Amino acid sequence: MQAKGQTVLVTGAAGFIGWKTSKLLLEGGFNVVGIDNMNSYYDVRLKEWRKKDLERYENFRFFHIDIENLGALRVLFDSFQFDAVLNLAARAGVRYSMENPHVYLQTNAQGTLNLLEMMKDHGIKKMVLASTSSLYAGQPMPFKEDLPVNTPISPYAASKKAAEVMAYTYHYLYGLDITVVRYFTVYGPAGRPDMSIFRFIKWIDEGKPIKLFGDGSQARDFTYVDDIAKGTVLAMKNLGYEIINLGGGKNPISLKSIIQKIEDLLGKKAVIEYRPFHKADMKETWADIEKAEKILGWRPEISIDEGLKRTVQWYIENREWLKDIKLEEGKQNI
């Protein structure tokens, strides 16, 4: 896509990946309309910080809209002519999806359906749909896009699978061009406080015990948020219907190793409080990114050491207001 005159709708624009992707589009000259329901699954002050950062750009407009609200979406789509829709809005979190599965299906599946309907009705052909590596649970590694991911082990993963399948249906029936990007453990500055790296940094810095589920040997294909944003924007090219992994693409890194690296960066030792491994969590994730390299010309550029250095630096620079950020998931207004 050429940026000049192009208007892109980014859902979940105040979210972690939505913020960074919107910023990349804005700096590339796109007009961005961002929407977000600003729910309190995690501390809203982080979402407000990201939104304020985006509002510095003249080519950014924000609306407080939930993708579950079809009426509000209809007004929005009547008001703007979008050239593409990047659906990065989602209810995230594997563990909490087991406590409140209904809201995950409503947002991740019904919300995606609402957007697909609006695209069909308004002649908008391109969607990039954010999905998850959680779908690969139980499959052999490294995870390749053609694996039969038909047995999700959490309501979160099941809701994302539902969104993928519905997107394919609209591609088949109405010719929509949809690229599904499956993200692998994204981290970076202004990240989600319910994710391990944000928590580890804050707990180690404050001398509080790290709550570690399992023995720390579980490993993740950590991917820096700037790389993820670049891959998401590249996925706006016309491809028909494709599912593409966006991940680190190297051997996964254990949580124990991550903790040691953060200790070195902060110059402080962690106090670890071990908890039972959660059965809905995955032991390891590891992306095969050959397809992303071939189709998008994408591969991650930021190493785990550089990414952690930038993330810790952001935390230190913002420590004064981050000290009050709650790390527990919200139980209301999710």
* Residues identified as active-site: 156
3-class DSSP state of 98:
helix
- With left for phi above 0 and alpha for psi between -120 and 50, is residue 134 left, alpha or beta? alpha
Distance CA 330, CA 334 (A): 7
Place of tokens 């402080």: 268
- 195-223 as b/e, with b when 16 or more CB fall inside 10 Å? bbbbbbbbbbbeeeebebeeebebbbbbb
Alpha helices in the chain (DSSP H): 16-27, 44-54, 70-79, 94-99, 101-104, 112-122, 155-174, 196-206, 225-234, 255-266, 290-291, 304-317, 319-322
Neighbours of 317 (CB within 10 A): 10
